[in-house]
Amino acid sequence: MKRLVLTGGGTAGHVTPHLALIPHLEAEGYELHYIGTADGIERELIPSHIPYYPIAAGKLRRYFDWRNLTDPWRVLWGTAQAWRILRRVRPAAIFSKGGFVTVPVAIAGWMLGIPVLLHESDYSPGLANRISLHFAKRICLTFPESLQYVPKERAVVTGTPIRAELQRGSRVQGLDLCRFADNVPTLLVMGGSQGSQAINRVIREALPRLSQEYQIIHLCGRGNAEPSLDSRRYRQFEYASEELPHLLAAADYVVSRAGANSIFELCSLRKPNILVPLSRQASRGDQILNARSFAKQGFSIVIEEEKLSVASLLDGLAELRANGDKYAAAMAASQLADGTANVLREIRALATR
């Protein structure tokens, strides 16, 4: 039985592709181990039967912060911890999804001669993956445009792994969860794992107009629900896990942030969508690039956060309703809608060297 170490964390986006791959890897006979941080979201999301090893990791900030003086020592300590874990586990390969826990694991793997495979979900590689690439054999990319940022001889465009359970959602169950009718268009609003204040505000301002034409499922983020607004055409969920496949199946149209995992899930499900990427003030701009790529390919309408308003939202939804089939057809034609098989191929190739 081949051993494989998985790593990545910090956000759900650095973990959900692992969740898509794990059932396939276990079915192929891999013994899986996971290296993450002690208090990261990855510890909550990774299945409990997979051995989990917490290590220290330091965030590499682009702005002044006193922790920039101490976090390099956390990276060194995390590298020593990862080296001891990898020396004991002796995996055939390491597969990393990014996040700052990636860096010490990639360095330790390189020191021990264990091949490292990286995966980058976003249009432009994050800082952790750019550092880790110096110690990795290969990097899988989600967007074809990302090849401009990395050595082409060590890169392959695979798309991103998609959880199989998302394809098994039931429209009937999704509508029943919300007590919605089957003859009214359903709009699903997703603001990311933490919710989005900007999207929440505009959706709630637009409710009087929206509820005349749509049933609205609103994933608003933990602590952001306003129960007084619930009605026969508006249902709020702070977070959806097991319910998500059914809610997606019930949706005719989607408004979403532009995290790579989320938008490729929408692409695989062929859901006409409006993307509202995080602004550059709140991020490094990766969601803006993700969204522009999807708009260029004809998959999505993009409304920049600074331009999001009740009027722009209603105009975008009118366009989706008029041309939804065109957007769905463009997504159906994409060869990167589900990168699970492509990433599995790269893992096998590295683990059997």
Lowest mean pLDDT segment, chosen from 71-75, 297-301, 306-310: 71-75
Stretch 157-167: mean pLDDT = 92
User: Which is nearest to 46 in space by CA: 81, 112, 97?
Assistant: 97
Q: Could you give the angle at the alpha carbon of 64 between the alpha carbons of 81 and 73, nearest 5°? A: 20
In this prediction, residue 166 carries a pLDDT of 92
Sign of the Cα torsion 218, 219, 220, 224 reads positive
CB atoms < 10 A from the CB of 288, how many?
21
CB 140 within 8 A of CB 120: yes
Stretch 265-277: mean pLDDT = 96
- Assess whether pLDDT exceeds 60 at residue 65: no
Residue-by-residue DSSP string for 173-235: HHHHHHT--SSS-EEEEE--TT--HHHHHHHHHHHHHHHHH-EEEEE--TT---GGG-BTTEE
In this prediction, residue 286 carries a pLDDT of 86
Burial label, 164 (beta-carbon count in 10 A; 0-12, 13-18, 19+): middle
Stretch 280-291: mean pLDDT = 81
Question: Which one has a higher pLDDT value, 285 or 202?
Answer: 202
Give per-residue pLDDT as tens, 32-60. 999 999 988 899 899 999 999 999 986 66
User: Cα(39)–Cα(237) distance, rounded to whole angstroms?
Assistant: 25
Q: Regarding beta strands 138-141 and 155-157, do their DSSP bridges make them parallel or antiparallel, or are they unpaired?
A: parallel
In this prediction, residue 46 carries a pLDDT of 95
User: Cα(322)–Cα(320) distance, rounded to whole angstroms?
Assistant: 5
- Assess whether pLDDT exceeds 90 at residue 126: no
In this prediction, residue 338 carries a pLDDT of 77
Give per-residue pLDDT as tens, 180-227. 999 999 999 998 655 588 999 999 999 999 999 999 999 998 889 999
User: Cα(41)–Cα(11) distance, rounded to whole angstroms?
Assistant: 6
User: Which is nearest to 260 in space by CA: 97, 36, 105?
Assistant: 97
HEC sequence for 113-145: CCCEEEEECCCCCCHHHHHHHHHCCEEEECCHH
Q: What is the CATH number of domain 165-332?
A: 3.40.50.2000
- Assess whether pLDDT exceeds 70 at residue 282: no
CATH class assigned to 3-161+338-351: alpha beta
Q: Where in the chain is the domain with CATH 3.40.50.2000?
A: 3-161+338-351, 165-332
Lowest mean pLDDT segment, chosen from 64-68, 94-98, 189-193, 278-282: 64-68
Q: Could you give the angle at the alpha carbon of 106 between the alpha carbons of 28 and 284, nearest 5°? A: 105
Residues paired with residue 231 on neighbouring β-strands, in sequence order? 234
Quick one: pLDDT band at residue 25, thresholds 50, 70, 90?
Answer: very high
CB 95 within 8 A of CB 115: no
Stretch 63-70: mean pLDDT = 57
Stretch (H or E) spanning 86 = helix 71-89
Roughly what angle, to the nearest 10 degrees, separates helices 102-111 and 71-89? 50
Stretch 279-303: mean pLDDT = 88
- Assess whether pLDDT exceeds 60 at residue 63: no
Rounding to the nearest 10 degrees, give the CA dihedral for residues 352, 340, 100, 277: 160
User: Which is nearest to 129 in space by CA: 97, 87, 83?
Assistant: 97
**How far, CA to CA in Å, does 17 sit from each of 8, 121, 209, 262, 303?**
10, 9, 37, 11, 26
In this prediction, residue 303 carries a pLDDT of 97
- Assess whether pLDDT exceeds 90 at residue 69: no
Quick one: pLDDT band at residue 136, thresholds 50, 70, 90?
Answer: very high
Percent of the chain with pLDDT over 90: 76
Task: Identify the DSSP state of 69.
Answer: G
- Assess whether pLDDT exceeds 60 at residue 64: no
Quick one: pLDDT band at residue 73, thresholds 50, 70, 90?
Answer: confident
3-state secondary structure of 33: strand
- CA 296 vs. chain centroid, Å, equals 20
Give per-residue pLDDT as tens, 10-20. 877 889 899 99
